[in-house]
Structure 1
């Protein structure tokens, strides 16, 4: 584990490498949070706050608008891809390079090098985003210190390949449980096989046709998929329990209640004995018509796209702060063993944000 202080005088690609070399798998973010807090505390134009392993830094210049730049500092488990390394083609490799330490590096560079922005800025670095929603550090800060997150607009530096991505999908996970009766498998007629009772659930999933929904000119594609199945007692026992875990990724025209009702409707009549919600985070509308969002899109350029996946723009939306995703990482490399980021995109995002905040 690196014990070096972060050097924010280096360019954003070098800062990304420093961040990657601080292992920070969800739940073990404290060393990196300490380093970020220490680096930001040296900057006289920022007021630095901390709650758990979540670090918030704010300018207080009395500007008419406040923008929040936010990013999570945790990663999925390391897969022999730390420390970071560079290649001759201009890529930086390592766990978290794409999701989302390159975005966090851009935040830190802006914090260090834009002391008098044209808008007041709030920088949020939070923990435990990559695991269940109940652990999410941004949610903890929102509940304990909602005033720290107040703003007119927010940019979440999640990987988006240097393009603005509007809104996000909602994500709902449920366990569909079936029951039966145990018996010896040599006398199967005395039992009732719970795994066999899962067949209608799987058939319903195989026949399901997901929606495509256009909102603010962005087309969101939904998905309803089995992501796990458990059951069985032993090799000679008819099982009396089975559970199919289903994940519904839904478009932001649905509320959480609407999404849950839809999943109930899909599996109605499938013989589900118990329907258990294990995780649920709502979607966020694109909000690209909001003046602050429209101005941001104009400033950074490109054509906005829909966000496939859930991000914390949903939390900002719930707080009444319009938000978009904009970061240098490529989401297609997130969580992969060969995770990497194009260094030129890190510099591009940093330069576009700096231009927007100093114009």
Structure 2
């Protein structure tokens, strides 16, 4: 078997971020990186290491009264001429540029450094590095761990190293894709009056969407902003045929004050005269900031908690009854961008804050 590339955890989180990013691991192709992570963690006797597919779980087993989970995904979206990494100066600030620097190998690097270093924390820690986060939910490595090894996800509080600009983002919006379908009657376009145009029937739906004002909902003190948008329109069979079917795909980002079923009912009520079908959904997560460990963490980090507008795997922890927050380096607006880049100072600041909390909590 080929020897996995060596990771030097002693080099620090910035250098390690570069090493992780320069090992391409687009979703479905994480094995080499997973091998490297497993190999380096097995060298540390204070960690009990388990592998499931390309997900690696490393736990301290010190018998502490509380357990904290710190997790991050190791896959990225496809590369687009943005590797290998490089360091660049932007208006006096130093950035690490390249695919994965924001989403989310800087957060993974911080976790790996601390997993190796902290052999006697006041709480037990479960470190999770998992695959296939950027693709369909059924492939998600964290979800697979929950199915195959639910005991490994037991904990009192979870931190997901998703990019949050070094601040704390509680919970997350839910997400849903729905298809709004219309039907008509085919006819030759030269005699369109004998047909019924399914695409034209979407016009009123698009007008309603343009006029729709998304909610901003306060949940446990955080204001979650929703979004309901058309993302795809399809229909038609030929350039001279009146179409008999058309589909408008909607994406609904809904606040965690409602379940996915309630969110679907809200959309159906808006388009009650259309055939609306849910094709994909993921529940949101309430902030969970009332948990004592969460409050202690926010206080230690010294940042005001904000809502997470995008969906993240904190929702999986929330579904298990584990309060969870997002906390990691990187601007979420640069996630998946061709000019993806992270402030070097954010990587070190997040590492410093997480270390301080884990050694005093």
Q: In the alignment, does 2:323 pair up with 1:331?
A: no
Give matches, 1:181-192, under 5 Å: 181-192=185-196
Calculate the TM-score normalised by the size of structure 1: 0.97
Query: Is the 1:133–1:280 contact (alpha carbons within 8 Å) kept by the matching residues of 2?
Result: no
Deviations 1:172-192 (A, max 9, x none): 111111111222211212221
Moved over 2 A (4+): none
How far apart are residue 3 of structure 1 and its match? Answer: 5.8
Corresponding residue of 2:352 = 351
Aligned partner (choices 149, 162, 166) of residue 166 of structure 2:
162
CA contact (8 A) 1:132 1:279 kept: no
Query: What is the distance in 2 between the residues matched to 1:53 and 1:180?
Result: 47
1:303 is matched with: 304
CA contact under 8 A between 2:165 and 2:329: conserved in structure 1?
yes
CA RMSD of aligned residues (A): 1.2
Q: What is aligned with 1:18?
A: 19
Q: Counterparts of 2:290 and 2:16 in 1: how far apart (Å)?
A: 34
TM-score relative to the length of structure 2: 0.96
Distance 1:339 1:128 in 2: 19
Kept in 1, the 8 Å contact 2:69–2:155? The answer is yes
SS at match of 2:61: coil
**Structure-1 separation of matches of 2:84 and 2:54:** 22
Structure 2 portions without partners, runs of 5+: none
**Following TM superposition, by how much is the alpha carbon of 1:39 offset from its aligned partner in structure 2, in angstroms?**
1.1
1:42-69 Cα deviation digits (max 9, x unpaired): 1111011011111111010111110000
* Superposition deviation, residue 75 in structure 1: 0.9
Distance 1:285 1:207 in 2: 28
Q: Partner residue of 2:294?
A: 293
Secondary structure, in 3 states, of the residue corresponding to 1:311?
A: coil
Corresponding residue number in structure 1 for 2:86: 85
| Alignment counterpart, residue 204 of structure 1, candidates 186, 201, 208 | 208
For the Cα contact (< 8 Å) 2:175–2:252, is it kept in 1?
A: yes
Looking at structure 1, the residues matched to 36 and 188 of structure 2 have their Cα atoms a distance apart, in angstroms, of: 59
Q: How many pairs align?
A: 355
- CA deviation profile, 1:54-90 (whole Å, cap 9, x unmatched): 1111010111110000011111111110111111331
CA shift, 1:217, in A, is 2.1
| Secondary structure of residue in 2 paired with 1:210 | coil
Shift of 1:257: 1.4
Q: Deviations over 1:135-190 (max 9, x none)?
A: 21111111111100100100001000110101100001111111112222112122
Aligned to 1:264: 268
Q: What is residue 215 of structure 1 aligned with on the other side? A: 219
Contact kept? 2:199, 2:243, Cα under 8 Å: yes
